[in-house]
Structure 1
Amino acid sequence: MKLELPLLGLLAMRRMSGYEIKKWLDSEGQFLGLDRHPSQIYRELNRMQVDGLIEFDVENGRGGGPDAKVYRLTAAGGGRLRRRIGSAYDPPKRFQAPEFTCRLLFTSMLDAPRALALVRQELEFRVGQVARNRGRDRGVPAGLEPGVDAGRLRFVGEELHRHGMAAVDTWIDWLRRMEAAMGADGWEDAS
Protein backbone atom coordinates (compact mmCIF):
# COMPACT_ATOMS: atom_id res chain seq x y z
CA MET A 1 0.00 0.00 0.00
CA LYS A 2 1.22 3.48 -0.79
CA LEU A 3 2.10 5.63 2.17
CA GLU A 4 0.15 8.63 0.88
CA LEU A 5 -3.24 7.54 2.28
CA PRO A 6 -2.05 7.03 5.86
CA LEU A 7 -0.11 10.29 5.82
CA LEU A 8 -3.06 12.25 4.46
CA GLY A 9 -5.32 10.61 7.04
CA LEU A 10 -2.99 11.32 9.93
CA LEU A 11 -2.58 14.94 8.92
CA ALA A 12 -6.35 15.27 8.53
CA MET A 13 -6.58 14.27 12.21
CA ARG A 14 -4.04 16.82 13.38
CA ARG A 15 -0.81 18.59 12.56
CA MET A 16 2.18 16.32 13.15
CA SER A 17 5.94 16.30 12.81
CA GLY A 18 7.70 13.52 10.94
CA TYR A 19 8.84 12.14 14.29
CA GLU A 20 5.26 12.08 15.60
CA ILE A 21 4.12 10.32 12.42
CA LYS A 22 6.82 7.67 12.84
CA LYS A 23 5.84 7.16 16.49
CA TRP A 24 2.19 6.73 15.48
CA LEU A 25 3.10 4.24 12.74
CA ASP A 26 5.24 2.28 15.21
CA SER A 27 2.43 2.06 17.77
CA GLU A 28 -1.08 2.34 16.29
CA GLY A 29 0.09 1.78 12.73
CA GLN A 30 1.25 -1.74 13.53
CA PHE A 31 -2.41 -2.74 13.93
CA LEU A 32 -3.09 -1.43 10.43
CA GLY A 33 -0.20 -3.30 8.85
CA LEU A 34 1.88 -0.16 8.40
CA ASP A 35 5.57 -0.52 9.00
CA ARG A 36 7.76 2.04 7.34
CA HIS A 37 11.35 3.16 7.67
CA PRO A 38 11.79 6.85 8.58
CA SER A 39 13.46 7.52 5.22
CA GLN A 40 10.29 6.33 3.44
CA ILE A 41 8.14 8.63 5.58
CA TYR A 42 10.28 11.70 4.99
CA ARG A 43 10.65 10.97 1.27
CA GLU A 44 6.85 10.71 0.94
CA LEU A 45 6.27 13.85 3.02
CA ASN A 46 8.67 15.72 0.73
CA ARG A 47 6.90 14.46 -2.39
CA MET A 48 3.51 15.40 -0.96
CA GLN A 49 4.79 18.88 -0.09
CA VAL A 50 6.16 19.36 -3.61
CA ASP A 51 2.78 18.18 -4.99
CA GLY A 52 0.98 20.77 -2.85
CA LEU A 53 -0.87 18.22 -0.70
CA ILE A 54 0.74 19.32 2.57
CA GLU A 55 2.56 22.32 4.01
CA PHE A 56 4.73 22.69 7.05
CA ASP A 57 5.81 25.23 9.63
CA VAL A 58 9.07 25.01 11.49
CA GLU A 59 8.49 25.05 15.22
CA ASN A 60 11.47 26.01 17.33
CA GLY A 61 12.52 23.61 20.05
CA ARG A 62 9.25 21.75 20.54
CA GLY A 63 9.25 20.36 24.06
CA GLY A 64 12.88 21.31 24.58
CA GLY A 65 13.95 19.30 21.53
CA PRO A 66 15.31 20.37 18.18
CA ASP A 67 13.37 22.45 15.67
CA ALA A 68 10.76 20.41 13.85
CA LYS A 69 8.79 20.63 10.65
CA VAL A 70 5.14 20.32 11.60
CA TYR A 71 3.02 19.22 8.66
CA ARG A 72 -0.62 20.00 7.88
CA LEU A 73 -2.97 19.25 4.98
CA THR A 74 -3.64 21.79 2.29
CA ALA A 75 -7.06 22.07 0.64
CA ALA A 76 -5.65 19.96 -2.21
CA GLY A 77 -4.50 17.32 0.27
CA GLY A 78 -7.91 17.23 1.93
CA GLY A 79 -9.53 16.87 -1.47
CA ARG A 80 -7.18 14.03 -2.40
CA LEU A 81 -8.00 12.23 0.86
CA ARG A 82 -11.76 12.60 0.34
CA ARG A 83 -11.49 11.34 -3.25
CA ARG A 84 -9.40 8.39 -2.09
CA ILE A 85 -11.80 7.29 0.64
CA GLY A 86 -14.74 7.82 -1.71
CA SER A 87 -13.21 5.77 -4.52
CA ALA A 88 -14.18 2.21 -5.31
CA TYR A 89 -12.80 -0.42 -2.95
CA ASP A 90 -11.63 -3.70 -4.44
CA PRO A 91 -11.09 -6.17 -1.58
CA PRO A 92 -7.69 -7.85 -1.80
CA LYS A 93 -7.44 -11.64 -1.60
CA ARG A 94 -5.77 -11.42 1.80
CA PHE A 95 -8.00 -10.39 4.67
CA GLN A 96 -6.84 -7.79 7.20
CA ALA A 97 -4.89 -6.04 4.44
CA PRO A 98 -3.61 -2.54 5.21
CA GLU A 99 -5.63 -1.17 2.29
CA PHE A 100 -8.82 -2.04 4.19
CA THR A 101 -7.79 -1.30 7.78
CA CYS A 102 -6.18 2.03 6.97
CA ARG A 103 -9.00 3.06 4.68
CA LEU A 104 -11.61 2.14 7.32
CA LEU A 105 -9.88 4.19 10.00
CA PHE A 106 -9.66 7.35 7.94
CA THR A 107 -13.02 6.92 6.23
CA SER A 108 -14.73 6.51 9.60
CA MET A 109 -13.53 9.90 10.82
CA LEU A 110 -14.72 11.73 7.69
CA ASP A 111 -17.65 9.84 6.18
CA ALA A 112 -19.68 7.57 8.47
CA PRO A 113 -22.05 6.20 5.77
CA ARG A 114 -19.10 5.39 3.48
CA ALA A 115 -17.29 3.65 6.37
CA LEU A 116 -20.33 1.47 7.03
CA ALA A 117 -20.57 0.64 3.31
CA LEU A 118 -16.87 -0.28 3.34
CA VAL A 119 -17.37 -2.69 6.26
CA ARG A 120 -20.37 -4.25 4.52
CA GLN A 121 -18.44 -4.69 1.29
CA GLU A 122 -15.51 -6.32 3.07
CA LEU A 123 -17.87 -8.58 5.04
CA GLU A 124 -19.75 -9.69 1.93
CA PHE A 125 -16.49 -10.42 0.11
CA ARG A 126 -15.00 -12.45 2.99
CA VAL A 127 -18.18 -14.48 3.54
CA GLY A 128 -18.18 -15.30 -0.18
CA GLN A 129 -14.49 -16.13 -0.11
CA VAL A 130 -15.04 -18.59 2.74
CA ALA A 131 -18.04 -20.15 0.97
CA ARG A 132 -15.95 -20.72 -2.17
CA ASN A 133 -12.91 -22.13 -0.41
CA ARG A 134 -13.90 -23.78 2.86
CA GLY A 135 -14.68 -27.25 1.48
CA ARG A 136 -12.03 -27.47 -1.20
CA ASP A 137 -9.81 -30.55 -1.52
CA ARG A 138 -6.66 -30.07 0.50
CA GLY A 139 -5.16 -33.51 -0.01
CA VAL A 140 -1.47 -34.08 -0.52
CA PRO A 141 -0.70 -34.06 -4.24
CA ALA A 142 0.46 -37.22 -5.96
CA GLY A 143 3.99 -37.58 -7.25
CA LEU A 144 5.90 -36.06 -4.32
CA GLU A 145 9.63 -35.80 -4.70
CA PRO A 146 11.80 -38.36 -2.85
CA GLY A 147 12.47 -37.35 0.72
CA VAL A 148 9.18 -35.44 1.16
CA ASP A 149 7.26 -36.84 4.11
CA ALA A 150 3.60 -36.92 3.05
CA GLY A 151 2.38 -37.41 6.63
CA ARG A 152 4.15 -34.35 7.98
CA LEU A 153 3.16 -32.34 4.93
CA ARG A 154 -0.49 -33.32 5.45
CA PHE A 155 -0.37 -32.65 9.21
CA VAL A 156 1.24 -29.21 9.00
CA GLY A 157 -0.90 -28.25 6.01
CA GLU A 158 -4.06 -29.14 7.95
CA GLU A 159 -2.90 -27.24 11.03
CA LEU A 160 -2.14 -24.17 8.93
CA HIS A 161 -5.56 -24.50 7.32
CA ARG A 162 -7.29 -24.74 10.72
CA HIS A 163 -5.39 -21.71 11.95
CA GLY A 164 -6.31 -19.77 8.81
CA MET A 165 -9.98 -20.76 9.11
CA ALA A 166 -10.08 -19.59 12.72
CA ALA A 167 -8.38 -16.30 11.78
CA VAL A 168 -10.75 -15.52 8.90
CA ASP A 169 -13.75 -16.55 11.01
CA THR A 170 -12.59 -14.15 13.74
CA TRP A 171 -12.21 -11.42 11.10
CA ILE A 172 -15.74 -12.03 9.83
CA ASP A 173 -17.11 -11.96 13.39
CA TRP A 174 -15.33 -8.65 13.97
CA LEU A 175 -16.74 -7.21 10.74
CA ARG A 176 -20.24 -8.24 11.84
CA ARG A 177 -19.75 -6.53 15.20
CA MET A 178 -18.46 -3.41 13.45
CA GLU A 179 -21.41 -3.42 11.07
CA ALA A 180 -23.84 -3.67 14.00
CA ALA A 181 -22.10 -0.92 15.97
CA MET A 182 -21.73 1.40 12.98
CA GLY A 183 -25.32 0.87 11.93
CA ALA A 184 -26.60 1.66 15.41
CA ASP A 185 -28.11 5.05 16.23
CA GLY A 186 -25.50 7.52 17.34
CA TRP A 187 -22.63 6.13 15.21
CA GLU A 188 -21.60 9.68 14.33
CA ASP A 189 -21.33 10.46 18.04
CA ALA A 190 -19.41 7.30 19.00
CA SER A 191 -16.32 7.83 21.07
Structure 2
Amino acid sequence: MRLEHVLLGLLALRPFSGYDMRKWMDGPGKYIGYGVQLPQIYRVLPRLVANGWAEFEVDPRDGKPDAKIYRLTDAGRDELLTWARSPYEPSPRPMDPDFKLRFLFAGQLGPDITRELLRTELDYRLTQLREPGWMDFTTVDLDPVPEIDLPWARTVQLAAHEFGYSNTAAYIAWLQLTLAKTEIAAGRSPGGTPYRGAATTTDSHER
Protein backbone atom coordinates (compact mmCIF):
# COMPACT_ATOMS: atom_id res chain seq x y z
CA MET A 1 0.00 0.00 0.00
CA ARG A 2 1.51 3.28 -1.12
CA LEU A 3 1.15 6.32 1.10
CA GLU A 4 0.45 8.34 -2.07
CA HIS A 5 -2.94 6.66 -2.44
CA VAL A 6 -3.80 7.08 1.23
CA LEU A 7 -3.20 10.82 0.93
CA LEU A 8 -5.13 11.00 -2.35
CA GLY A 9 -8.01 9.21 -0.61
CA LEU A 10 -7.97 11.80 2.15
CA LEU A 11 -7.84 14.68 -0.31
CA ALA A 12 -10.88 13.21 -2.09
CA LEU A 13 -12.83 14.03 1.07
CA ARG A 14 -11.69 17.63 1.50
CA PRO A 15 -8.58 19.83 1.32
CA PHE A 16 -5.98 19.04 3.98
CA SER A 17 -2.70 20.39 5.23
CA GLY A 18 -0.01 17.84 5.98
CA TYR A 19 -0.43 18.50 9.69
CA ASP A 20 -4.20 17.95 9.48
CA MET A 21 -3.62 14.64 7.66
CA ARG A 22 -1.50 13.48 10.57
CA LYS A 23 -4.20 14.62 13.02
CA TRP A 24 -6.79 12.63 11.06
CA MET A 25 -4.65 9.49 11.30
CA ASP A 26 -4.32 9.97 15.05
CA GLY A 27 -8.05 10.65 15.39
CA PRO A 28 -10.75 9.19 13.09
CA GLY A 29 -8.22 6.96 11.35
CA LYS A 30 -6.49 5.51 14.39
CA TYR A 31 -8.36 2.19 14.32
CA ILE A 32 -7.17 1.42 10.81
CA GLY A 33 -3.81 0.45 12.21
CA TYR A 34 -1.72 2.41 9.72
CA GLY A 35 0.78 4.59 11.52
CA VAL A 36 2.42 7.36 9.52
CA GLN A 37 4.65 10.07 10.95
CA LEU A 38 4.44 13.69 9.87
CA PRO A 39 7.88 13.71 8.14
CA GLN A 40 6.68 10.82 5.91
CA ILE A 41 3.62 12.83 4.91
CA TYR A 42 5.71 15.91 4.17
CA ARG A 43 8.02 13.84 1.95
CA VAL A 44 5.14 12.45 -0.11
CA LEU A 45 3.08 15.63 -0.60
CA PRO A 46 5.63 17.27 -2.95
CA ARG A 47 5.56 14.10 -5.06
CA LEU A 48 1.79 14.41 -5.41
CA VAL A 49 2.25 17.97 -6.65
CA ALA A 50 5.10 16.99 -8.98
CA ASN A 51 2.92 14.24 -10.49
CA GLY A 52 0.10 16.71 -11.02
CA TRP A 53 -2.16 14.80 -8.62
CA ALA A 54 -2.49 17.63 -6.09
CA GLU A 55 -2.05 21.38 -5.86
CA PHE A 56 -1.79 23.67 -2.91
CA GLU A 57 -2.36 27.20 -1.77
CA VAL A 58 -0.64 28.94 1.12
CA ASP A 59 -2.83 29.77 4.09
CA PRO A 60 -1.27 32.58 6.19
CA ARG A 61 -1.43 31.99 9.95
CA ASP A 62 -1.05 34.81 12.47
CA GLY A 63 1.84 34.09 14.80
CA LYS A 64 2.37 30.65 13.27
CA PRO A 65 4.12 29.28 10.18
CA ASP A 66 2.02 29.52 7.02
CA ALA A 67 0.23 26.28 6.10
CA LYS A 68 0.03 24.64 2.68
CA ILE A 69 -3.52 23.46 1.99
CA TYR A 70 -3.57 20.66 -0.59
CA ARG A 71 -6.41 19.88 -3.00
CA LEU A 72 -6.97 16.98 -5.36
CA THR A 73 -6.63 17.74 -9.07
CA ASP A 74 -8.49 16.04 -11.94
CA ALA A 75 -5.36 13.97 -12.59
CA GLY A 76 -5.30 13.03 -8.91
CA ARG A 77 -8.91 11.82 -9.10
CA ASP A 78 -8.04 9.74 -12.15
CA GLU A 79 -5.06 8.19 -10.36
CA LEU A 80 -7.17 7.43 -7.29
CA LEU A 81 -9.88 5.76 -9.39
CA THR A 82 -7.30 3.75 -11.35
CA TRP A 83 -5.82 2.47 -8.10
CA ALA A 84 -9.25 1.78 -6.56
CA ARG A 85 -10.25 -0.34 -9.57
CA SER A 86 -6.94 -2.18 -9.82
CA PRO A 87 -6.86 -5.89 -8.83
CA TYR A 88 -6.61 -6.47 -5.10
CA GLU A 89 -4.40 -9.29 -3.83
CA PRO A 90 -5.10 -10.26 -0.20
CA SER A 91 -2.21 -10.60 2.20
CA PRO A 92 -1.56 -14.00 3.79
CA ARG A 93 -1.94 -12.21 7.13
CA PRO A 94 -5.61 -11.72 8.12
CA MET A 95 -6.75 -8.22 9.04
CA ASP A 96 -3.80 -6.67 7.26
CA PRO A 97 -3.89 -2.84 7.25
CA ASP A 98 -3.69 -2.88 3.44
CA PHE A 99 -7.23 -4.27 3.21
CA LYS A 100 -8.59 -1.75 5.71
CA LEU A 101 -7.00 1.12 3.81
CA ARG A 102 -8.35 -0.09 0.48
CA PHE A 103 -11.77 -0.69 1.99
CA LEU A 104 -11.89 2.88 3.26
CA PHE A 105 -10.21 4.87 0.51
CA ALA A 106 -11.17 2.72 -2.49
CA GLY A 107 -14.55 1.65 -1.15
CA GLN A 108 -15.68 5.24 -0.66
CA LEU A 109 -15.56 5.67 -4.44
CA GLY A 110 -18.51 3.40 -5.15
CA PRO A 111 -20.50 0.32 -4.11
CA ASP A 112 -19.25 -1.78 -7.03
CA ILE A 113 -15.64 -1.25 -5.88
CA THR A 114 -16.61 -2.03 -2.28
CA ARG A 115 -18.41 -5.26 -3.16
CA GLU A 116 -15.61 -6.56 -5.37
CA LEU A 117 -13.05 -5.84 -2.66
CA LEU A 118 -15.13 -7.55 0.03
CA ARG A 119 -15.78 -10.62 -2.13
CA THR A 120 -12.10 -11.00 -2.96
CA GLU A 121 -11.06 -10.73 0.67
CA LEU A 122 -13.84 -13.01 1.92
CA ASP A 123 -13.15 -15.76 -0.63
CA TYR A 124 -9.46 -15.70 0.27
CA ARG A 125 -10.11 -15.89 4.03
CA LEU A 126 -12.65 -18.71 3.72
CA THR A 127 -10.17 -20.73 1.67
CA GLN A 128 -7.46 -19.95 4.19
CA LEU A 129 -9.63 -21.03 7.12
CA ARG A 130 -10.34 -24.39 5.46
CA GLU A 131 -6.67 -25.19 4.99
CA PRO A 132 -5.63 -28.18 7.11
CA GLY A 133 -2.78 -28.05 9.55
CA TRP A 134 -3.38 -24.80 11.41
CA MET A 135 -2.37 -26.63 14.61
CA ASP A 136 0.63 -28.44 13.12
CA PHE A 137 2.94 -26.34 15.28
CA THR A 138 2.06 -28.60 18.24
CA THR A 139 3.86 -31.53 16.62
CA VAL A 140 7.08 -29.70 15.76
CA ASP A 141 10.13 -31.10 17.56
CA LEU A 142 11.60 -28.52 19.91
CA ASP A 143 14.79 -28.32 21.93
CA PRO A 144 14.10 -25.45 24.32
CA VAL A 145 16.46 -23.72 26.70
CA PRO A 146 16.36 -25.03 30.32
CA GLU A 147 14.12 -22.16 31.46
CA ILE A 148 11.26 -23.37 29.26
CA ASP A 149 8.93 -26.12 30.42
CA LEU A 150 7.86 -27.72 27.15
CA PRO A 151 4.26 -28.69 28.10
CA TRP A 152 3.64 -25.20 29.46
CA ALA A 153 5.19 -23.60 26.38
CA ARG A 154 2.86 -25.61 24.15
CA THR A 155 -0.11 -24.51 26.28
CA VAL A 156 0.85 -20.87 25.75
CA GLN A 157 1.47 -21.40 22.02
CA LEU A 158 -1.94 -23.05 21.61
CA ALA A 159 -3.67 -20.17 23.40
CA ALA A 160 -1.90 -17.67 21.15
CA HIS A 161 -2.94 -19.57 18.03
CA GLU A 162 -6.52 -19.88 19.28
CA PHE A 163 -6.59 -16.12 19.81
CA GLY A 164 -5.56 -15.54 16.21
CA TYR A 165 -7.93 -18.19 14.89
CA SER A 166 -10.94 -16.78 16.78
CA ASN A 167 -10.11 -13.24 15.63
CA THR A 168 -9.96 -14.47 12.04
CA ALA A 169 -13.35 -16.16 12.44
CA ALA A 170 -14.81 -12.89 13.77
CA TYR A 171 -13.20 -11.01 10.88
CA ILE A 172 -14.81 -13.37 8.37
CA ALA A 173 -18.18 -12.80 10.03
CA TRP A 174 -17.67 -9.05 9.65
CA LEU A 175 -16.78 -9.47 5.96
CA GLN A 176 -19.93 -11.54 5.38
CA LEU A 177 -22.14 -9.04 7.22
CA THR A 178 -20.66 -6.01 5.45
CA LEU A 179 -20.93 -7.64 2.03
CA ALA A 180 -24.57 -8.50 2.70
CA LYS A 181 -25.27 -4.91 3.77
CA THR A 182 -23.68 -3.45 0.63
CA GLU A 183 -25.65 -5.83 -1.60
CA ILE A 184 -28.91 -4.96 0.15
CA ALA A 185 -28.11 -1.24 -0.16
CA ALA A 186 -27.55 -1.74 -3.89
CA GLY A 187 -30.89 -3.51 -4.33
CA ARG A 188 -29.47 -7.03 -4.27
CA SER A 189 -30.25 -9.93 -2.02
CA PRO A 190 -27.23 -11.25 -0.07
CA GLY A 191 -25.30 -13.34 -2.57
CA GLY A 192 -25.63 -10.86 -5.41
CA THR A 193 -29.08 -11.69 -6.89
CA PRO A 194 -31.00 -8.51 -7.76
CA TYR A 195 -34.29 -8.00 -5.92
CA ARG A 196 -37.36 -8.15 -8.15
CA GLY A 197 -38.02 -4.71 -9.58
CA ALA A 198 -34.72 -3.34 -8.30
CA ALA A 199 -32.74 -3.32 -11.57
CA THR A 200 -33.19 0.42 -12.15
CA THR A 201 -32.12 1.25 -8.63
CA THR A 202 -29.07 -0.97 -8.91
CA ASP A 203 -28.02 0.46 -12.25
CA SER A 204 -28.33 4.05 -11.07
CA HIS A 205 -26.32 3.17 -7.95
CA GLU A 206 -23.42 1.82 -9.98
CA ARG A 207 -23.12 4.58 -12.53
TM-score w.r.t. structure 2 length?
0.83
Match of 2:87 in 1: 88
- Does 2:25 correspond to 1:47? no
Q: Which moved more, 1:107-116 or 1:140-149?
A: 140-149
Match of 1:116 in 2: 115
Q: Which moved more, 1:40-49 or 1:180-189?
A: 180-189
* Aligned alpha-carbon RMSD (Å): 2.1
Name which structure has the greater RCO, CA cutoff 8 Å, separation 6+: 1
1:109-148 correspondence to structure 2 within 5 Å: 109-133=108-132, 135-147=134-146, 148=148
**Runs of 4 or more above 4 Å deviation:** 133-136, 186-189
Distance 1:134 1:27, change over 3 A: farther
**Structure with a larger share of its residues in helix:** 1
Distance 1:154 1:140, change over 3 A: farther
Do the aligned residues in 1 keep the contact of 2:144 with 2:150 (CA within 8 Å)? no
Structure 1 gap segments, 5+ residues each? none
1:56-71 correspondence to structure 2 within 5 Å: 56-61=56-61, 66-71=65-70
Q: Which moved more, 1:151-160 or 1:24-33?
A: 24-33
Secondary structure of the residue aligned to 1:14 is coil
Structure 2 gap segments, 5+ residues each? 188-201
Distance 1:29 1:133, change over 3 A: farther
Residue identity in the other structure for 1:138: F
Secondary structure of the residue aligned to 1:69 is strand
Distance 1:4 1:133, change over 3 A: farther
Cα separation, 2, equivalents of 1:40 and 1:30: 17
Q: How far apart are 1:54 and its partner, in Å?
A: 0.7
Q: Which moved more, 1:26-35 or 1:51-60?
A: 26-35
Q: Identity across aligned pairs (percent)? A: 35
Cα separation, 2, equivalents of 1:131 and 1:56: 50
Secondary structure of the residue aligned to 1:139 is helix
Residue identity in the other structure for 1:82: L
Residue identity in the other structure for 1:123: L
Secondary structure of the residue aligned to 1:79 is helix
1:152-191 superposed Cα distances (whole Å, 9 cap, x missing partner):
22011100011001110110011011011111135899xx
Do the aligned residues in 2 keep the contact of 1:140 with 1:150 (CA within 8 Å)? no
Do the aligned residues in 2 keep the contact of 1:140 with 1:154 (CA within 8 Å)? no
Q: How far apart are 1:66 and its partner, in Å?
A: 4.3
Cα separation, 2, equivalents of 1:33 and 1:149: 35
Residue identity in the other structure for 1:9: G
Aligned residues: 188
Secondary structure of the residue aligned to 1:35 is coil
Do the aligned residues in 2 keep the contact of 1:140 with 1:153 (CA within 8 Å)? no
Cα separation, 2, equivalents of 1:20 and 1:99: 22
